[in-house]
């Protein structure tokens, strides 16, 4: 691991997401991940309504599909900058949602969070799995960190990192 990643990891913390206190932040975070909607809807009011509708849909889906998931807020120097939601399964740890605010990307925060997950996976002897939209630029990060693509449903790649993966 690089010194940059080590130093940023010292500045990263996780805390449980608490509703309704974190709702506004999670809505802002969701909006920062949906550049595609901003390109499709030019009216600000309609865009805001669409983003809220999409966020509420995601929230309902997560609640239904991952009722036991651990939902945490990623903090950088004590400030909320992202979300990490994991579903602990018998045979893996699944990353339900990993997102960093646009303004805080490309600083090593995502790498720092993933490295901590990799340590947990290694300790438990479990792979870490994620589903990633094919157009998500984070795929380059996942590839660099040793994830392999092991599925394709047309819109998303299924990706897996295994403790034995060379890093």
For 80, the enclosing helix (H) or strand (E) is strand 79-88
The DSSP 8-state label assigned to residue 63 in this structure reads: H
Q: Is 36 within the bounds of a domain?
A: no
Task: Identify the burial level of 112 via C-beta atoms within 10 angstroms of its C-beta, where 0-12 means exposed, 13-18 middle and 19 or more buried.
Answer: buried
Q: Is 63 within the bounds of a domain?
A: no
Structure-derived torsion over alpha carbons of residues 52, 38, 21, 113, reported in degrees to the nearest 10: 130
pTM of the model: 0.91
Number of domains, the chain: 1
Q: Is 13 within the bounds of a domain?
A: yes
Judge whether 157 and 131 are in contact, CB under 8 Å: yes
Q: Which domain holds residue 153?
A: 3-17+68-161
Residue 131 maps to which CATH number? 3.40.630.30
Q: Per-residue confidence of the chain (167 residues) as pLDDT tens digits?
A: 455 566 899 999 999 999 999 999 999 999 999 888 877 777 888 899 999 999 999 999 999 999 999 999 999 999 999 999 999 999 999 999 999 999 999 999 999 999 999 999 999 999 999 999 998 999 999 999 999 999 999 999 999 999 975 44
Q: Is 131 within the bounds of a domain?
A: yes
Q: Is 74 within the bounds of a domain?
A: yes
């Amino acid at each position: 691991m690089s010194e940059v990643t080590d130093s940023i990891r010292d500045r990263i913390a996780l805390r449980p997401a608490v509703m309704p206190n974190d709702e506004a932040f999670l809505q802002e975070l969701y909006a920062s991940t949906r550049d595609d909607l901003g390109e499709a809807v030019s009216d600000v009011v309609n865009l805001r309504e669409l983003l809220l509708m999409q966020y509420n849909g995601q929230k309902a889906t997560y609640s239904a599909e991952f009722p036991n998931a651990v939902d945490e807020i990623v903090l950088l120097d004590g400030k909320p900058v992202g979300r990490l939601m994991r579903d602990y399964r018998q045979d893996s740890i699944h990353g339900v949602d990993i997102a960093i605010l646009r303004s805080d990307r490309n600083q090593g925060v995502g790498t720092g969070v993933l490295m901590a997950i990799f340590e947990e996976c290694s300790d438990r002897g479990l792979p870490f799995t994620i589903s990633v939209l094919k157009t998500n630029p984070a795929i380059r990060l996942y590839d660099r960190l040793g994830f392999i693509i092991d599925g394709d449903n047309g819109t998303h790649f299924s990706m897996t990192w295994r403790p034995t993966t060379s890093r």
